Amino acid sequence: MEKQKLMYKNHEFGIDTYWLDPISDFTTEVKHPVAIIFPGGRFTFQTDREAQPIALKFASEGIHAIVLHYQLIEDNTPVYPLALQETATVLNWLQSQAKIHQIDLNKIILVGFSAGGHVVADFNSIMTDKTSQNKVMLDELEVLPAANILCYPVIDLTAGYPRTMEHRLAVTPDRFYWRSQEHLTVNAKPTFIWQTVDDKTVPVKNSLLYAEKMEKLNLPFELHLFASGKHGLSLGTYVTQQPGNELHLNDFVANWWELGMNWLKSINLL
């Protein structure tokens, strides 16, 4: 893993890159997809349980991985619009890395967990539409993701999480960014969504709102709702289990990974 710093105008932010090395005895070049990972953490921190373990899991599937340390609530600075500007910066930066690391720029996947899911959902809704994108940044977005994976995502800041107006306003006082489903257009990318029905932190209504709008627009998506499981399961295996926390283990929900990989294969991204 390599830590790197990127710049959007005069704003510096960090990424962790997990590049796959070429296999020396291959006679032809193999280009790999890239997963850009957005861990959750209430918009105030990023949990490591949704960072390196997820990156390594993607690496095991032959996919480069990047963990994006997107803008959080700190020092009176809101999450938006910086989080979307940072994401766009990473996507454009990948062009300069494509030949070095054998990247397939047509196979970039954004992967968001919980609060990070809101960043991904907003990007898919806002930044894939030129009119909406121009409200966020005038710089040319030269590379777009091909698909998204949303894991127990926050979708609408008024749909049960955050619970207080103070928290919502800290995420951003600009309500343009609050309801990601409202900005979906026919330009949005295919999306895989999963959540547990009895999620006590982010109500399952969030996933349903996004899926419902995608269905209305006839956009490709796949939605999996598991009957039971706590919020923040990550992989749902011992790899991401907090020591002593049996609720982080859920063999049934852990199937989301295989379901997600099969979905990527079905849309020719694996």
What residue segments make up the domains of the chain, in order of their start? 2-266
For 170-222, the pLDDT digits (tens) are 999 999 999 999 999 999 999 999 999 999 999 999 999 999 999 999 999 99
For 20-79, the pLDDT digits (tens) are 998 878 878 889 999 999 999 999 999 999 999 999 999 999 999 999 999 999 888 999
DSSP secondary structure of the chain: -EEEEEEETTEEEEEEEEPPPPPTT-SS---EEEEEEE--STTT---GGGSHHHHHHHHTTT-EEEEEE---SBTTB-STTHHHHHHHHHHHHHHHHHHHHTEEEEEEEEEEETHHHHHHHHIIIIITSHHHHHHH--S------SEEEEES---BTTTTSS-SHHHHHHH-S-GGGTBGGGG--TTPPPEEEEEETT-SSS-THHHHHHHHHHHHTT--EEEEEES---TT-TT-SGGGPPTT-GGG--TTGGGHHHHHHHHHHHTT--
Question: In this predicted structure, what is the pLDDT of residue 182?
Answer: 97
Question: In this predicted structure, what is the pLDDT of residue 62?
Answer: 97
Identify the CATH number of the domain defined by range 2-266.
3.40.50.1820
Mean pLDDT across the chain, nearest whole number?
A: 96
pTM of the model: 0.97
Question: In this predicted structure, what is the pLDDT of residue 79?
Answer: 98
For 99-109, the pLDDT digits (tens) are 999 999 999 99
**Average pLDDT of 92-98?**
97
